[in-house]
Amino acid sequence: MASTTYSPMLQDQDRYQKVLKTYWRICTQRQVQSEFFRSTLLDILANIGNGKSQLNIIGVGSGDGKVDVEMLSQLRLKHPGLLLENEVVDPSPRWIHEFREMVADMSDLDPVKFIWNQMTDSEFEEQWRQREIKKKADFIHLIHVLYFVEDAGAAISFFQSLLEKTGKLLIDVVSDKSHYMNLWEMFHNELRPHQKLEVPFINSNYIKKLLDKRGVPYQSYELQCVLDITACFTEGDETGEILLDFLTQMMFFSKTASPDLKQRILRQLRDPQCSVEKDGKSYTALTRK
């Protein structure tokens, strides 16, 4: 199994948090996710934990935890009376701290017991094996985290092995058909000069092929979210520069990229392959599966 990306974005946690928070604020992703959880995911999870008094959930790469909390709140409504035990796996002390602070004063999450694992997916796996933990999970989610793990295939296998028979694994990655992927495919060599070419950028196609090869049945959903990238075209605009970091996955792209690369990326971002214009604004579609 090919090992996956190592993102330079993770090296500067201050900047990375700023980039992600800006992205979450401007992109319609969270709104779209929320609709998906309410309309589709809850039905998919209707039968998990049948006959049990407790639901075991594992969230991998939870970030600020807002998405996890939304799912936990929905699950509580769907399975009233059940105790929810939620393991959080994230190596970032800042994100774990932020998540803990948020849930500390959320009384409506009372029957949820949190277990905090400040570590990577592979450290979590090692800990699980060393402690010979036999617990099985009813629901595990990997939301926008597989880009960062050492080996996406191995991570999927491990978390799958933790599932109860009726358990579900949710994987959320960018669609291979998104505008974003077009930009990445075109500038692959320049944006990731140190990465071997055969190392793929994790997207929906990569995950589907991997599951197909293993004969794992799955359901795939396409969520349409859009990011307003208009600010990227205003020289010196702070929000624009932050969004460019996100789009290129290069820290301080505007300051560190060569003027030539910057110009070509901006030109490409205006191209219909990478964005659409509406009411004087540019939107890039980050369809996800």
Say whether residue 143 binds ligand SAM (CB under 6 A): yes
Judged by beta carbon, residue 45 or residue 143, the one nearer ligand SAM is 143
In sequence order, which residues have a C-beta less than 8 Å from that of residue 85 and are 6 or more positions away?
Answer: 54, 55, 56, 57, 112, 113, 115
Judged by beta carbon, residue 56 or residue 120, the one nearer ligand SAM is 120
Say whether residue 145 binds ligand SAM (CB under 6 A): yes
Say whether residue 95 binds ligand SAM (CB under 6 A): yes
Say whether residue 180 binds ligand SAM (CB under 6 A): no
Among 144, 179, 288, 289, which residue interacts with ligand SAM (rule: CB under 6 A)? 144
Judged by beta carbon, residue 96 or residue 183, the one nearer ligand SAM is 96
Query: Residue 129, exposed/middle/buried by CB under 10 A (0-12, 13-18, 19+)?
Result: exposed
Q: Smallest distance, Å, CB 92 to ligand SAM?
A: 4
Q: Smallest distance, Å, CB 249 to ligand SAM?
A: 11
Q: Smallest distance, Å, CB 121 to ligand SAM?
A: 4
Find the part of the chain contacting ligand SAM (CB under 6 A) among 86-94, 105-113, 198-206, 214-222.
86-94
User: Nearest Cα to 283, choosing from 33, 34, 28?
Assistant: 28
In sequence order, which residues have a C-beta less than 8 Å from that of residue 224 and are 6 or more positions away?
Answer: 32, 285, 287
Q: How far apart are CA 79 and CA 87, in angstroms?
A: 18
Q: Smallest distance, Å, CB 264 to ligand SAM?
A: 26
Query: Residue 34, exposed/middle/buried by CB under 10 A (0-12, 13-18, 19+)?
Result: middle
Task: Decide if 176 contacts 205 (C-beta within 8 A).
Answer: yes
Q: Smallest distance, Å, CB 163 to ligand SAM?
A: 18
User: Three-state SS for 282?
Assistant: strand
In sequence order, which residues have a C-beta less than 8 Å from that of residue 194 and are 6 or more positions away?
Answer: none
Among 37, 114, 139, 148, which residue interacts with ligand SAM (rule: CB under 6 A)? 148
* Token pair listed for 232: 């990227």
Binding to ligand SAM, residues 52-71 (CB under 6 A): 60-63, 67
* Amino acid at the residue 273: Q
Among 26, 45, 89, 183, which residue interacts with ligand SAM (rule: CB under 6 A)? 89
Q: Smallest distance, Å, CB 24 to ligand SAM?
A: 7
Residue with tokens 């070419």: 197
Percent helix, strand and coil across the chain, each to the nearest 5: 45, 20, 35
Say whether residue 227 binds ligand SAM (CB under 6 A): no
Q: Smallest distance, Å, CB 50 to ligand SAM?
A: 27
Say whether residue 92 binds ligand SAM (CB under 6 A): yes
Q: Smallest distance, Å, CB 122 to ligand SAM?
A: 7
Judged by beta carbon, residue 251 or residue 261, the one nearer ligand SAM is 251
In what side-by-side order are the strands of the sheet with 276-278?
A: 226-228, 281-285, 276-278
Binding site for ligand SAM (CB under 6 A): 10, 20, 60-63, 67, 89-92, 95, 120-121, 143-145, 148-149
